[in-house]
Structure 1
Amino acid sequence: MDPRITLVTLGVSDLAASIRFYRDGLGLPMRDREDDSDVAFFSLDGAWLSLYPRDLLAEDAEVAADDSGFSGITIAHNVSTKKEVDAVLDEAASSGGRVVKPAQETFWGGYSGYFADPDDHRWEVAFPQLTAD
């Protein structure tokens, strides 16, 4: 297997609301799509983010669509400064997401916090302060 991730698909409950959050709120560049399409793609640096209705995604993966709590997956977005961590968390909150863990110093020497998108997918925003040994 070639060790890389090329696409992350999030199952969403309201595609239009999620598009507004990611495109209009967070400013992610969205690929052109037909108005009646069930999927939206966002170009990221080196990968794609896809939004797809949760029930259809569950059907495609042959799993139950009911929400059973934390999925055990988070998505991380690293930035260059602590100020950027705070700014991205503020941007997410003002775009319809919610901060679920305010930014703080971490046990691993960085600075991070978490926000949840409208479907409660958890994103960590981190400044991974690295020091030379």
Structure 2
Amino acid sequence: MNQQVSMVTLGVGDLAESRRFYSEGLGWTPLLDLDEIVFYQVGMGLALALFPLSDLAADTGTPATPGTPFTLAHNVGSPAEVDAAVTRAREAGASVLKEPQRAAFGGYHAYFADPDGHRWEVCHNPGWSVAEDGTVKLTAVDPES
């Protein structure tokens, strides 16, 4: 099996509110926007879908509830970009869970939750890079530097 994730689907309580949050609030451009689902290109070969919770429950045959037991992450190029992303998310209606601050791993990060409680980390990690082919490279960073 090919080791990759090609789509992350978030179950949302109100598709119109989530569409507004991601499109207008965060400034993301939909890849495909239908009445019942919205797709965003979020990386090389990776899409994020917003899908109503009731439809997700029906599709999977199991109950679906708001929020997630995991965190999605958006890595940016500087601490200032973390600050700007959190400001934009807050203005769009996000609940800031952790204000921007230095992280134990030597970077700078913050957490917010979208209108459905999906948790996002916005992070500047000086040891994070992405090659032209999309391969992620992680190197240890001295937290004291």
Normalising by the residue count of structure 1, what TM-score does the alignment of the two structures yield?
Answer: 0.88
How large is the RMSD of aligned CA atoms in angstroms? 1.6
Identical pairs, percent = 41
One-letter amino acid of the structure 2 residue matched with residue 43 of structure 1: Q
Cα distance in 1, alignment partners of residues 73 and 37 from structure 2: 22
Cα distance in 2, alignment partners of residues 115 and 71 from structure 1: 13
Structure that is richer in strand per residue:
2
Alignment of 1:58-97 (within 5 A): 58-67=57-66, 71-97=68-94
Cα distance in 1, alignment partners of residues 68 and 27 from structure 2: 25
Cα distance in 2, alignment partners of residues 120 and 66 from structure 1: 10
Residue of structure 2 in register with 1:2 after alignment: 2
2:116 equivalent to 1:116 = no
Gaps of 5+ in 2: 128-140
2:127 equivalent to 1:127 = no
How far does residue 66 in structure 1 lie from its aligned partner after superposition? Answer: 4.2
How far does residue 45 in structure 1 lie from its aligned partner after superposition? Answer: 2.3
Number of equivalenced pairs: 128
Gaps of 5+ in 1: none
Q: The residue matched to 1:115 in structure 2 has which SS?
A: strand
Alignment of 1:22-101 (within 5 A): 22-34=22-34, 37-46=35-44, 47-67=46-66, 71-101=68-98
Residue of structure 1 in register with 2:17 after alignment: 17
What per-residue deviation string (whole Å, max 9, x for no partner) do you get for residues 35-93 of structure 1?
xx2111112221111000012112222222345xx632110000000000011000000
Q: The residue matched to 1:72 in structure 2 has which SS?
A: coil
Cα distance in 2, alignment partners of residues 110 and 33 from structure 1: 35
- Assess, with a 3 A threshold, how the Cα gap between structure 1 residues 102 and 31 changes in structure 2: closer, same or farther: same
Cα distance in 1, alignment partners of residues 32 and 75 from structure 2: 26
